[in-house]
Structure 1
Amino acid sequence: MSVCVACNNPLEVEIERDEDEEHDAGASFSGKGAAAAPETYPDDVQMTCGCHFHWDCLLEAYEITECPHCGKNIASASSTGAQQVVCNLRNEGGLQEGLDILPLLSEESYLKAYPEDRKCRAFLEFCREGDYKAIIGMLQDDEVEEDDEDEDEEMADCDGAGNKEVGIDRMLRYQDPIGGMQSGLHAAVQAQSREVAWLLLLLASNYDLMEFPPLVFQEAASLGIMRGLTEDKVDIRSLRDANGKTAEDIANEVGGVWNGWSGNGRLAI
């Protein structure tokens, strides 16, 4: 069997069992005979240079354009001219050939350097998926954390690992530095998610409350969401991506549910 060039171990990982499964497995043997062999699944990332890595080992040693083991160039150009890193990936899901893992590698490398952005990026991903309930869950969890911190000023800016806490305002207005500086509102528009867009406008803009559809307030009230003070904060509608476009600019381009978006930033209903 081939081995990982980074750690020299077989290209597989052991399946972790929960405590109940381990207890049942131990009870079945009752102390007699050899223990069952651990269950494993493949964990093999084959780069274009021919080197094989475990996924975690590749992340640990990752360099964008060169193989961290042999130094050969592993980057190539896609059909659109964009840079890519293609591999053959074999894991518990089977074999995927010609898979571009550059987006995943870039994100993991970024989060290794800026671990405090992990929560913001999860929030942005929910915006891209249009999952407004998950977004509300994150905001409510963060609000509880902020309340807990207020009770202990000495620990107000740090989590248990000593990292700075994100804070709701920063999470709402986060812009993706490795994704074209998109905000959550940009992502919601591209995802055609009216619910997420209205939620972000309610919480992170100075948009006139009288212009919101009644259904938005009804839904927000049922979920325990309300607008705080926004006058002294950045209006999410003003945020521009790496191309200088606001979410409204994107809305005018993509159309769809946004055909009624007018010049003052109002969504169609």
Structure 2
Amino acid sequence: MAACVACKRPLVLELEPDEEEYVNIGGPSSGKAPATEPETVPDDLHLNCGCHFHWQCLLEAYQITECPNCGRNIATTSPTGQQQVLCNLHNEGGVQESLDILPLLTEESYLKAYPEDRKCRAFLELCREGDVSSIVDMLLDDEDDEDDEDTRKITNDELLRYQDPIGDMQSGLHAAVQSGSREVAWLLLLVASNLDLSQFPAQVLQEAETFGIMRGDMEGKADIRSLRDGNGKSAEDLAREVGGVWVGWEGTRRLTV
């Protein structure tokens, strides 16, 4: 089997054993050792230049369009004209061939430079997934759970109005519209817009009350509907393009100011 060109170790990942899989050695004060050999799973990322990496090793050395080992260009152009980085990935989920990892590499490289944005990007992903309960949990969580003591806490106002610098400057509302999640859109409009409360369905207001979340003071804060993506589009412009669940919303000004 080929080894990782970065660390020269086998292309596997050792899994941490569960607590019950440890046994005492030499008495109660002597510590514990694994009862069995560590379990391993494949961790082989094979680039189109021929080099093999562990996923983490590639992230640590990643250079956008060049292989950090051999220096060859690993970027190609997709049939739609988009740049891509294709690889064959073998991990615990099986083998995936011709997988485009450029979006993941780009995001991880960005977060390495701007770790304070990690929470905001997690918030955007929840908006894309339509996960209302997790969004509410994030907004209600006042604890500073950042691992890096030098990373400042992100406020809810910043979270709600964050725009993706590596994703066409989309806001959470853009993300919800793109994925067709009216539930998330209503939630964001409730907590981060000046849309009159009479415009909201009674069920939306009832659910918000159940969650324990409601609109705060909006004075001096940007209405989330006013945010435009990198193409100058409001959430309503995007809804008009997407159609589907947004048919009937056009002209109501629910998604634009």
Structure 2 length as normaliser, TM-score?
0.91
Q: Per-residue deviation at 1:104?
A: 0.5
**Post-superposition CA distance 1:203-233 (Å, at most 9, x none):** 1111111221211110100110111011310
1:217 to 205, 209, 221: 205
1:192 to 160, 176, 180: 180
1:206, 1:231 within 8 Å by CA — same for their partners in 2? Answer: no
Q: 1:260 to 1:23 in 2, by over 3 A?
A: farther
Report the number of matched residues: 249
Amino acid aligned to 2:242: V
Residue aligning to 2:226: 238
Q: Per-residue deviation at 1:23?
A: 4.2
Residue aligning to 1:136: 136
Q: Per-residue deviation at 1:98?
A: 0.6
Q: 1:254 to 1:160 in 2, by over 3 A?
A: closer
Residue aligning to 2:162: 174
1:159, 1:165 within 8 Å by CA — same for their partners in 2? Answer: no
Tell me, in whole angstroms, the C-alpha distance in 2 between the residues paired with 1:36 and 1:229.
Answer: 58
Q: 1:80 to 1:229 in 2, by over 3 A?
A: same
**Post-superposition CA distance 1:114-173 (Å, at most 9, x none):** 0000000000000001111110011111xx227x9xxxxxxxxx8762211111000011
Q: Indicate yes or no: 2:160 matched with 1:162.
A: no
Q: 1:160 to 1:95 in 2, by over 3 A?
A: closer
Tell me, in whole angstroms, the C-alpha distance in 1 between the residues paired with 2:115 and 2:193.
Answer: 27
Q: Per-residue deviation at 1:263?
A: 2.8
Identity, % of aligned pairs?
Answer: 68
Secondary structure, counterpart of 1:145 in structure 2: coil
Residue aligning to 2:171: 183
Runs (4+) of structure 1 moved beyond 4 Å? Answer: none
Q: Which runs of 5+ in 2 are unaligned?
A: 27-33
**Post-superposition CA distance 1:182-215 (Å, at most 9, x none):** 1110111111111100100011111111221211
Amino acid aligned to 1:123: F
**Higher helix content, 1 or 2:** 1
Structure 1 length as normaliser, TM-score?
0.87
Tell me, in whole angstroms, the C-alpha distance in 1 between the residues paired with 2:147 and 2:6.
Answer: 32
Residue aligning to 1:154: none
Tell me, in whole angstroms, the C-alpha distance in 2 between the residues paired with 1:116 and 1:42.
Answer: 31
